[in-house]
Amino acid sequence: MILFLTCCCILALVLLIGPAGLNPFIAFLLVAIATGLCLGIPADAIVRSVQKGIGDTLGSLVAVIVLGAMLGKLVAESGAAQRISQVLISAFGERRIQWALMVTGFVVGIPLFYNVGFVLLVPLIFTIVHRLRLPAVYVAVPMLAALSVTHGFLPPHPSPTALVGQFGADMGRTLLYGIIVSIPSILLAGPVFARTLRKMDAKPLETFQPRLLPDDRLPGTVVSFTASLLPVAVLAITTLVPMAVTMSESARKGLVFFSEPAVVMLLALLFATFTLGRGMGMKSVMAGYADAVKDVSLILLVVSGAGGLKQVFTDSGASGAIAGMMGSLPLSPLVQGWLMAAIIRVAMGSATVAGLTTAGIIAPVVSATGVDPSLMVLSIGAGSLMFSHVNDSGFWMFKEYFNLSIRDTIRSWSLMETIVSVTGLASVLLLDRLLH
């Protein structure tokens, strides 16, 4: 019954936003309230649940999205993104630009939280699209597939890192297995799948469509790459240093502060403002920042609405009940972990929440069956990426940045995530067979 009600609520959301043409934020609020009533949350607690979901989601994302939009705007308008695209095209060639972006997405995605990587790298994608006159979605999918895979499979991202601890897995072995499993997932969901998207019409947000400048007005290569990739470098350093060096408590706390995505993005924006923005004038730079905030305001609203609906599913106990139904199925423990995570992911939207919720249910199975805990981490990670749709903030970020319809977003983004998830499971099962 819970599964049926959850499916009905998700279908209602799709119909309200699609055929009915309702504003996504309003649709999220209506469906969240209706879902809470259907799933038995007391009427006086539903609004508090929605408010908590909105607040928690915006609290963790608003600074990152806004600062990332500002940085992207400056990188685009200053000509830094144009300079970077020239270097990439020269190094890899126009015919292999997808592969260059895919590798960049994977390397950047290991230390970088997904939302930060998305808002940081999308302007670069748009610059290359504008310069080479290539379809935007066709170019973007390989890089975004790589970012998604690192988020779901590889430590130090939140869900796989937490699962390693809960299952008592070895961090290094999980990372090694994760890289092996990631390769076929990225290849199939990236360059291979992208071939089917060549004819998809996308009109990206104008704020990230840079005007081309003459070469003599472009910033230098070093400054351009430094300003654009400074967040990547800082997060990589703050992630890797604690693994390699024994630190005092005060040093560790300082490193934790500088590893916060919002702090990293703020430092990167300040650096870019006084380097890339030096020749533009402070007034012009600040005007560009204001325009960037306006352009991402709808993204913030729909992301917050998704957070409200997700909280209703959490508070109603729907995710735990659905996962419990799957526990008795006669399946391999690795498939059970993947299936539980996949169902919770589809019902709730959050890959991290899906992974952590599944871990609490499947942990006794890991110890009872003797399944390789590192492979269980990856199996659950693959399931947590299954079919991203309207209750996932990543779905809406992709839709709004690329200015796509719901149908085309499902055709591209949702199917890309599904390919990553299914290929990831198949790779885990194959690796399990080879190892054991």
Residue 428 has pLDDT above 90, yes or no: yes
CA distance 148 to 105: 9
Residue type at 361 in one-letter notation: I
Question: In sequence order, what DSSP letters do the residues of 62-97 get, joined into one string?
Answer: HHHHHHHHHHHHHHHHHTHHHHHHHHHHHHH-GGGH
Per the listing, tokens 């990670």 go with: 381
Residues 364, 406 contacting (CB under 8 angstroms): no
CA distance 332 to 345: 20
Instruction: Say which range, 54-58, 196-200, 404-408, has the weakest mean pLDDT.
Output: 54-58
Give me the pLDDT at residue 320, please: 61
Q: How many CA atoms lie within 13 A of 57 on its CB side?
A: 27
Nearest Cα residue to 217 out of 82, 31, 29: 82
Which span out of 139-153, 221-235, 248-262, 288-302 was modeled with the highest average pLDDT? 139-153
Longest pairwise C-alpha distance within the chain: 67
Predicted TM-score (pTM) of the model is 0.73
Q: How many helices (H) and strands (E) does the chain have?
A: 21, 0
For residue 23 the two structure tokens come to: 């504003």
Residue 220 backbone dihedrals phi, psi, to 5 degrees: -70, 160
C-alpha triplet 54, 286, 80: angle, nearest 5°: 95
Give me the pLDDT at residue 265, please: 85
CA distance 309 to 223: 42
Bigger pLDDT: 373 or 243? 373
Give per-residue pLDDT as tens, 231-241.
Answer: 877 877 876 77
Nearest Cα residue to 272 out of 254, 286, 255, 291: 286
CA distance 266 to 67: 7
| Distances from the Cα of 290 to the Cα of 123, 191, 279, angstroms | 17, 35, 18
CA distance 263 to 153: 25
| Distances from the Cα of 359 to the Cα of 107, 124, 253, 386, angstroms | 27, 36, 28, 16
Label residue 411 by pLDDT band (50, 70, 90). Answer: very high
Per the listing, tokens 């126009």 go with: 94
Give per-residue pLDDT as tens, 307-341.
Answer: 888 788 778 877 567 656 655 667 888 999 999 89
Give per-residue pLDDT as tens, 178-225.
Answer: 989 999 999 999 999 999 999 998 887 666 665 667 888 888 889 988
